[in-house]
Every structure is written in C-alpha cells, then in structure tokens.
Structure 1
C-alpha cells in the first residue's frame, strides 16, 4: 500500500507520464481561462471552446488548410510581384498524418490535432528521460534525479502549452529526442528513418548532421586520444567497425539530404527554385537575412544597449553549452545544444516565436539543474525554475496565444 502512495517507488515511465499529465492539465486550465478573454478573430469567435482555441489559432489554421487542401502549385504574388504568405512555409508530416487520421476516424481537426500533439508530447518526454539517463549517464551518476527533473522542466517550460495545440513542436521534440537517443546508444541505422521524418517536420535536420559529426569526433577522441591508454576499455568501445563507418556515413548523408529535401520539393512543384525561401521572406521584412535580425531586434528592445545585451546572452548560452555539466551529458545532448543554438542565431528572426523554438533546446534545462549535487540545492533550484516556468506559461498564453486585434504577433 505504501509503495502505491510513494511516487518514488512507481515505475519510471509512470512518474514521467504523471509529471507530464499534471503539467498539461495546468496548461489546459490556463487556456480555458484565457479563452474567456479572447475576442472574435479570424480563426475563432469570441470566448472559443478549448478545442477551437488550441486547434485553430495562428499557424494551426495553416496546418488545417494543408490537411484539407495540400500545397499550391503556383506561389501567390502580390501587386508588387513579391511572394505572399502561403502553405509552403510549413512542413508536411504533421498535417498529412492528421489528414489520414481524419479520413480513417471521421473525427474533426480540432479534436484530433491537439490530441495527437498531446500524445506525441508524452512520447517525447519518455524518450527524453531515457536519453538523459543513458546518454548523460555520467551526469546522472552525480545527480540521480536529473532525468525526471529534465522531464519536469520540459513539461512546464513557458512555451510547453504548445505541446497540446495543433502545432508541430510535440512531433519535432519526439523525433529530435529519438534521433539523439539512437545516436547515443549507437543504433545508427535505426536513426536514419527518424531523421527522414524529422526532415519533413521542421527545418532542423542540418543541425542534427552537426551532432553526428560531434559524436564521431568524441568516438575518435575516446579511441585514439590522449586518454585512450588510461581507459583501454573505453578506447576499445569507441573504435569504429566497418559497420559503424557505413552506418554513420549513411546517417550523416541522410541528415544532409533531409535538411534540403523540402526546399527542393517546393522548388520542383512550384517551378521556382527559391520557392521555400521566398515564402519564408513573406513572413519577414521581404527578405531572409542571417544573424543580423538578432542585432536589429536587440536594438529595438534595448536601444543602444541592445548589442551588449545580445552579446551577454550569447556568452551565457555558450558557457552553459561548454560547461562541465554539458560535457557530462554526453556528445549527443551537448552537440544538439550547440548546433541548435547556432541554427537559431544564424537562421531565425528573434521575436515572439523564439520562446516556442527554445523548447527544442531542452538540454539547457538539464544543464541548469545538473550542477546541483547536494539534494537540498537541487530541490531548491528545481523548485524556483518550476515556479518561474509556471508563471511563464500563464504569461505566454495571455500575451502571445491570446490574439489582440487589429493585428498581433504569432506565438
């Protein structure tokens, strides 16, 4: 009887699902409450139902449009000849899976899409637990509660409510964590189809290629580096077999192909080679720039101090990614932290969507608590981060998910 009451005695997967379920229940309550303050807009009426609110707002309607109508064969142009916003900006796996499920079950988009995301998010946190436990075994040996703490912080992250909406974050999180886990346990061929799916979910297959390279460098260091003589067992494990070389080469090539496949398909279907990038430019200032939007937006937010603030943020992120805790998490989690951060800084425009993008940089959450080896310090740090995150959830839904007419920024 006592074991049933004490959560510490529950199977690991039960603990993970309970943590995730409680976090999603909190987010659902926030959505329901905020929806009562939602005015009528282009996606829902005033005071929408929970299903409509999480299934139709902002980009969710784009995914619904793709599920119902597919992608255009010609790009829409404005009077000035510039490409207008269109479906090619959104990757196809999530809406096409939902299209099939709607056809088979007869259920509505507003029921199925958020439910599928919710379930995919549950799968993602289960994989994240195992990834931190196995891939980050050196960190977990020092901080045994780290896998579940990471799951908790992912589940309550300020933008984590998106995991129960008709967005692709849950699917992307599951595929990223799965690819990293399979890389960590050296099931390279199994990771290939996961990366293919990732390439049709979000534009993050190229950062995954960097992780594969980082993983290879770690194995080379372990097999032939200065520590090889002191740790012969590790050196023997890290040496490459012919099968390893073939599998890693296949995986790296798959990452590279998956990283550009959607852009190539968009160009072939529309007859315009820059179709994807021209479409992306329609959501920006009319053109795609690299890194400079971070400087520009930093100046908008912080005026003359903007570049200094940006530099401090990047230095802090770099120190976290290169910290001893990050190294103890293993090359896969550390490599993803570095590669994905670099991708965000180089490719994205930092604004309201950045909080949503940051959810996929989940190894930072393990790093933030992985240094606290004393139990009371670990518990205190975790409690503070959870409380701040729950407040952040309320703020994220209220400020970003709630549409404020006549125009508003998408979350």
Structure 2
C-alpha cells in the first residue's frame, strides 16, 4: 500500500484539437470546419483579385464582391430583376442567343428576398449560398454517418467544404441550394422517408437543371428494392411512392421547357437557349438539341485544340466512363457507401453524358456526386486524409485563379 501511495500518477493526457472538436455537437463541429474552409476560400479570392490582369473579365477592379456577382451570377441577378423574356433574342444568323431561360428561378428570387434585408441582391445571393452550403454539409454528414463512423463522415464533409470548386459556396451560383435539396432527397431515400420528396423534387427542379437525373435514380432505386425485397421488405406503399415520385421528377424535369414555350410561343425555347451557349465553343453548332451529341461534338473541338484525332478523344472519354463505372461497381470503399449513393452517382453520370457539352465547366457540374467523398474518407491513415485535403485546397486555388483571376483570357477559364 505504501509503494502504491508513493508511485506517481501518470501524467494527464491532453486531448488533441481534433479530439476536442470531435466532442462538440455535430452542428457546432461542422460549423467550425465550414467557417474555416470559407475563410481559406476568401483568402484565395483576395489573392486572385490581386493577381487578375487588366485584360481579364474582371480587370484591374477585380474584388471579392465582383467575383461573387460574376459569370452566371449575373444571369440570376437579371432573372431576379427583370424576369424572363417573352420574345427570344436572336443573333445575326437568326439563331436564338443567350438569355435568361437557361436559369431556373428559385435561387434568383430567394437571393432577392434575402438581399432585401442586406441592401443588395449580391449580398443576398452570397448569404443564401453560404447558409445552403453549411446545411448541405450537415445533411452530407448525416447521410455518410449511416454508412461509416464519425471520423469518416467528418473528413468527408471537410473534403466537400474544401473541394476544388468549393468557392461555389460563397458566390451567386445556385449549386449550394441545389445540393441542399439533393442531399435532403438522397437522405430521405436512404431512410425510406419518401413523402418528403414530393416537396424536395420541385425545389430541386426549379433551382437548377438535374432533376431528370433524379428521375432515373428513382427508377433504378425501385428496381434495386424489388431485387432485394427478400432482404428488405418492399411494402406496397413504397412501390406507389417510388412510381409516383419518378413520374413527378420526370414531369418537373420537362416542365421548364413547357413553361418557356408557353411564355415565348416557341416550343423549342429552352433547348434553343441552351444550345446558344454551345455556340461559344463551336461556331457550327446545330440549332437543335440531340441527346449524347454533345460529347461527339466536343471530341472534335478538343481534338482540334490539342492537335490530335477525334477518335482518340472519344477513346479517352470511353476510358473515363469505364473507369467511373468500375469504381462504382468494384471499389470496396465506394461499395460501402451503399446502393443508393452509387445508383445516384451512376444516374447523374448518364444524365451528363446525355445533355452536356464537355468543357471547363465539367468540374462544377460534377459537384452533385459529392457523396463519393465518403469513399475517399474511409478508414485509412491520417497521412492519406491530410493528403486528400491538401489536394483539395491546391485544386481550389487552381480553380479560383483560373476562372476568376484569369477569367475569360482563354477557353479553359470558364467556370
């Protein structure tokens, strides 16, 4: 007993900052990480403003504020202030030119409402993006927590908040708000809370394009649930929900085309408007949209830019598509995310193949598959995770410097 009393107590182990952070409520912890990520992005914006050459899109007066209101943000501001044209503008060749019908209304008017409290639409847009981005991080955490431990979900959220295109969380783009509706919808599907989707699908559909990918996902989800019905019971009410929601998502996805055609009197108003942006890349772009044609056209364009053959570019596209499919099918970390997140990623990839003309905006358009960050955060060494985070930050600086500091100086500087 005397020896025990004389034995010095082991020194108290101080908790590391990470352990202290892990002990906080999830909303607080995610909020701290999100704020730190946004501070880093702001520093990147400040540096990009200082480096912007006079001949760039933003010129010598470049600032964080002008960046927030630049590129597509201008179009959302226009929608909020002037609405949509009833007569489509045309160019000298008689083809429909760029106009507001390419941009959905929900984000524009949400920013207008919030901006009334802050004195400007741009301020409202930044607030909407910031808040929606934070809430998206919370929902992403909840989704991934269903598939892994706390560390995995937290690291995945950190990757998401610091991703190469994370600047979208603080500019006048609709991606943040769309991601919030999308993540909520995916979370509801994972929890089999289908009723909420009757609200979330229209919110998605009128925030930005992409709800048709969700319609495809619901179809694949229904097939998956039917195949696995012996492992997971499939009540009749779930079948009814999945079918009705798939129809709703399809109807919402095509409704904007109907609205544009009624408002303008032109049945092809929306698709012709979308094709107008394609003519920024190829002068002989067809006047009418054809599914899957964009990748073939882009292969010819980029082959000319790179001095190679169109067949080689198409082969590279096929290789990328095959690699992504193999990742979803066979990678053990991706498989641990569950069928629903994998089916969504596949559905969205098919949607992009069908409608997208691949150019530098591809990095931004890949953001909806962000749940795959969970696979990058699966239990590995901290060295791996820190390396992924560093790569995210390097990619973010490259993206901000390219599309804001060098904005418009080359074809590859379009966000």
Shorter-chain TM-score range: 0.7 to 0.9
Partner of 1:231: none
The 5 Å alignment of 1:322-341 reads: 322-323=329-330, 324-341=332-349
Q: Deviations over 1:56-77 (max 9, x none)?
A: 2111111111111011001001
Distance 1:127 1:327, change over 3 A: same
Could you tell me the TM-score, scaled by structure 1's length?
Answer: 0.87
Q: Deviations over 1:5-38 (max 9, x none)?
A: 5112112222222222211111111001111233
Question: What CA distance in whole angstroms lies between the structure 2 residues aligned with 1:406 and 1:222?
Answer: 52
Question: What CA distance in whole angstroms lies between the structure 2 residues aligned with 1:403 and 1:95?
Answer: 26
Question: What CA distance in whole angstroms lies between the structure 2 residues aligned with 1:340 and 1:302?
Answer: 30
- Say whether residues 1:198 and 2:212 are aligned partners: no
- Say whether residues 1:387 and 2:399 are aligned partners: no
Partner of 1:20: 34
- Say whether residues 1:162 and 2:168 are aligned partners: yes
8 A contact 1:210–1:335 mirrored in 2: no
1:397 to 400, 407, 411: 400
Question: What CA distance in whole angstroms lies between the structure 2 residues aligned with 1:84 and 1:59?
Answer: 15
Larger radius of gyration: 2
Question: What CA distance in whole angstroms lies between the structure 2 residues aligned with 1:42 and 1:95?
Answer: 26
Secondary structure of residue in 1 paired with 2:48: helix
Partner of 1:320: 327
Distance 1:258 1:302, change over 3 A: farther
Question: What CA distance in whole angstroms lies between the structure 2 residues aligned with 1:130 and 1:301?
Answer: 43
How far did 1:4 drift? 10
Partner of 2:315: 308
- Say whether residues 1:37 and 2:54 are aligned partners: no
Question: What CA distance in whole angstroms lies between the structure 2 residues aligned with 1:23 and 1:245?
Answer: 41
Q: Which stretches in structure 2 are left out of the alignment for 5+ residues?
A: 1-12, 280-284
Question: What CA distance in whole angstroms lies between the structure 2 residues aligned with 1:219 and 1:297?
Answer: 42
How far did 1:152 drift? 1.3
Q: Deviations over 1:277-334 (max 9, x none)?
A: 1011111133343431453355344724423332322222111121243333122211
The 5 Å alignment of 1:75-94 reads: 75-94=88-107
The 5 Å alignment of 1:251-266 reads: 251-266=245-260
The 5 Å alignment of 1:128-139 reads: 128-134=140-146, 137=147
Distance 1:240 1:348, change over 3 A: same
Partner of 2:7: none
How far did 1:209 drift? 1.2
Q: Deviations over 1:168-222 (max 9, x none)?
A: 1101111110110111111111111111111111211111112212222222222
Q: Deviations over 1:74-123 (max 9, x none)?
A: 100112111111111111110011223334x2621222211210111001
Secondary structure of residue in 1 paired with 2:396: helix
- Say whether residues 1:359 and 2:367 are aligned partners: yes
Q: Which stretches in structure 1 are left out of the alignment for 5+ residues?
A: 229-233
1:102 to 97, 115, 129: 115
Distance 1:144 1:108, change over 3 A: closer
8 A contact 2:56–2:407 mirrored in 1: no
Equivalent pairs, count: 386
How far did 1:249 drift? 2.3
Partner of 2:357: 349
2:87 to 53, 74, 82: 74
- Say whether residues 1:240 and 2:244 are aligned partners: no
Distance 1:39 1:346, change over 3 A: same
Partner of 1:118: 130
8 A contact 1:39–1:404 mirrored in 2: no
8 A contact 2:58–2:404 mirrored in 1: no
Distance 1:407 1:325, change over 3 A: closer
Question: What CA distance in whole angstroms lies between the structure 2 residues aligned with 1:295 and 1:308?
Answer: 9
- Say whether residues 1:295 and 2:309 are aligned partners: no
Distance 1:108 1:2, change over 3 A: farther
Question: What CA distance in whole angstroms lies between the structure 2 residues aligned with 1:203 and 1:49?
Answer: 29
Moved more, 286-295 or 177-186: 286-295
What RMSD, in angstroms, separates the aligned Cα atoms of the two structures?
A: 2.3
